[in-house]
Amino acid sequence: MPAPARTSRDDIVRSARALLEAEGLDAVVMSRVAASVGVRGPSLYKHVEDRSALIRAVADSVTADLAAALSGAMSTGDPASDLRALANAYRAFVLANPNGYGLLFAHLTPDLQAEPGAVADLGRPIVAVVRQLTGDDEAALEAGRTIVAWAHGFVSMELAGMFRLGGDLDAAYTTGIELILAGISGEASPSST
């Protein structure tokens, strides 16, 4: 009878994510992950093919957790409230997982990247809520992309410490959400060209 497994793929990915958040991508190496789950390095290869497969599994895990956070945020049935909740869930996730989130946007070779379809699907809840607000499929996609770009830019600047003029970042983020909602609802509209 074979010896019972001393670790699992889930344990390995969880440990790799912890290393990623604590020390960055360079710290996510097979020997460090093996030590953190209490096995020798070669034992990891029973669960992940190599470091590339490990990094991709971490990126896929981050994507899945962000998707769960976003879908869990939509609960009121009111599209404006749901959009606020989505934006806040997005920011909370990024602030709690900055290096994991950064992995989704890093310039990595394809063998290290999260599954592209799953990353693209992250925008679907936002587009669906905006579609409820606008009733227009094309406008919903355009507005959804604008929301994601704004939120990504805001949290990226926040993580980098780039808001140096002072003020309340929570209030600034809330104001941004409200301005976007006003634009979507037609209270503010882009100038025609």
The pLDDT, as a whole number, for residue 139 is 87
Q: Is residue 40 part of a domain?
A: yes
Give the CATH number for residue 167.
Answer: 1.10.357.10
The pLDDT, as a whole number, for residue 5 is 60
Residues 177, 101 share a domain = yes
Residues 113, 40 share a domain = no
Q: Is residue 54 part of a domain?
A: no
- pLDDT band for 189, please (50, 70, 90 cuts): very low
DSSP 126-150: HHHHHHHHH--HHHHHHHHHHHHHH
Query: CA 132, CA 80: separation in Å to the nearest integer?
Result: 9
The yes-or-no verdict on residue 3 having pLDDT over 80 is no
- pLDDT band for 84, please (50, 70, 90 cuts): very high
Residues 64, 44 share a domain = no
Residues 155, 70 share a domain = yes
Give the CATH number for residue 18.
Answer: 1.10.10.60
Residues 116, 42 share a domain = no
Residues 100, 73 share a domain = yes
Residues 71, 9 share a domain = no
Q: Which domain holds residue 32?
A: 1-48
Count how many domains the chain has: 2
- pLDDT band for 44, please (50, 70, 90 cuts): confident
What count of Cα atoms within 13 Å lies in the side-chain half-sphere of residue 129? 27
Residues 159, 104 share a domain = yes
Residues 129, 41 share a domain = no
How high does pLDDT run on average in the chain? 89
Quote the pTM value.
0.88
Q: What is the mean pLDDT of residues 56-75?
A: 94
CA-to-CA separations, 106 to 24, 32, 53, 160, in angstroms, rounded: 12, 22, 16, 15
Q: Is residue 193 part of a domain?
A: no
Residues 142, 80 share a domain = yes
Residue 123 parent element (H or E): none
The pLDDT, as a whole number, for residue 162 is 94
The pLDDT, as a whole number, for residue 192 is 41
Residues 1, 94 share a domain = no
pLDDT tens-digit map of 121-167 = 898 999 999 999 988 888 899 999 999 999 999 999 999 999 999 89
The pLDDT, as a whole number, for residue 186 is 74
* % of the chain surpassing 70 pLDDT: 94
